[in-house]
């Protein structure tokens, strides 16, 4: 038993001739002294060996734990980066919404009853030479008229953004006995020919059918 312990001691101390060769004379002398002590007290060497094994096992366990912790930290860092990207996108979207909202607030309020812009349709119910109804026009946007070059005053009833609503109203007027009722279009407050806006009317109707 003592021979085996001594052999183990010598193996631990003198293993690796290259390493031992790098020791100084003082270090070699010190280790030789320790080898003699271990020879006299093999139990001490056994304890030292067992302590080293325990330390090695602890180092191995902690190294494994450290590797696991590094992996966990890496995963969490990746998740944090992903969340930061999402936050950046949300902030960008929020900025865009705020900008759009500011533009909407700054935009002038459009009166839905303001038919002076865009294309509208009225139903003409008659033309009169000796009747001037202009004094009634300002008080009722659905009642109007105009006269060109001293001609008869053309009277219109109703005002519509949709041509087909105007067409339905025209048919009601005819059913009520106004046989000359017909549709007249206006663009930006100026009377225009029906052919100038008919293309847009037909296109809108085709879209509705789809």
Residue 77 falls inside a structural domain: no
CB atoms within 10 A of CB 30: 12
Q: For 51-60, 92-101, 133-142, 188-197, which range has the lowest pLDDT when averaged over its residues? A: 133-142
| pLDDT one-digit tens code per residue, 71-116 | 999 999 999 999 999 999 999 999 999 988 888 777 666 566 677 7
The encoded tokens of residue 161 equal 């953004």
| pLDDT one-digit tens code per residue, 175-193 | 999 888 999 999 988 889 9
With tokens 């304890």, the residue in question is 47
Q: What range defines the domain where residue 173 resides?
A: 119-209
Residue 142 falls inside a structural domain: yes
Q: What is the dihedral of CA 107, 113, 119, 125, to 10 degrees?
A: -170
Residue 80 falls inside a structural domain: no
Residue 20 falls inside a structural domain: no
Read off φ and ψ for residue 88, nearest 5 degrees.
-65, -40
Residue 136 pLDDT exceeds 90: no
Residue 148 pLDDT exceeds 90: no
Span 49-62, average pLDDT: 88
Q: Is the distance from CB of 61 to CB of 25 less than 8 angstroms? A: no
The encoded tokens of residue 139 equal 């008080």
Residue 171 pLDDT exceeds 60: yes
> Coil, strand, or helix at residue 203?
helix
Q: For 67-71, 99-103, 131-135, which range has the lowest pLDDT when averaged over its residues? A: 131-135
Q: Is the distance from CB of 50 to CB of 56 less than 8 angstroms? A: no
| Dist. CA 135–CA 203, nearest whole Å | 38
Residue 210 pLDDT exceeds 60: no
The helix (run of H) or strand (run of E) holding residue 22 is: none
Average pLDDT, the chain: 80
Counted domains in the chain: 1
Q: What is the pLDDT of residue 113?
A: 66
Residue 207 pLDDT exceeds 50: no
Residue 111 falls inside a structural domain: no
What's CA 74's distance to the chain center, in Å? 27
- pLDDT-based confidence at 16, cuts 50/70/90? very low
Residue 206 pLDDT exceeds 50: no
> Coil, strand, or helix at residue 71?
helix
Residue 162 falls inside a structural domain: yes
Residue 49 falls inside a structural domain: no
Residue 99 falls inside a structural domain: no
Q: What does pTM read for this prediction?
A: 0.44
Give the CATH number, domain containing residue 151: 3.30.70.1070
Span 29-56, average pLDDT: 81
Span 9-26, average pLDDT: 60
With tokens 């010190």, the residue in question is 30
């Amino acid at each position: 038993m003592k021979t085996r312990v001594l052999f183990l001691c010598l193996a631990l101390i003198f293993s690796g001739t290259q390493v031992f060769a790098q020791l100084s004379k003082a270090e070699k002398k010190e280790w030789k002294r320790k080898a003699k002590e271990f020879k006299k007290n093999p139990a001490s060497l056994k304890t030292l060996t067992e302590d080293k094994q325990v330390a090695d096992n602890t180092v191995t366990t902690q190294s494994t734990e450290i590797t696991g912790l590094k992996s966990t930290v890496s995963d969490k860092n990746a998740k944090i980066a992903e969340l930061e990207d999402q936050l950046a996108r949300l902030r960008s979207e929020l900025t865009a919404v705020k900008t759009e909202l500011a533009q909407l607030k700054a935009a002038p309020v459009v009166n839905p009853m303001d038919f002076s812009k865009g294309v509208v349709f009225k139903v003409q119910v008659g033309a009169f030479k000796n009747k001037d109804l202009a004094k009634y026009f300002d008080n009722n946007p659905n009642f109007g008229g105009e006269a060109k070059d001293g001609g008869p005053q053309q009277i219109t009833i109703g005002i519509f953004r949709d041509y087909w609503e105007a067409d339905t109203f025209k048919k009601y007027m005819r059913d009520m006995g106004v046989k000359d009722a017909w549709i007249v279009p206006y663009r930006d407050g100026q009377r225009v020919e029906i052919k100038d806006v008919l293309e847009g009317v037909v296109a809108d109707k085709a879209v509705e059918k789809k």
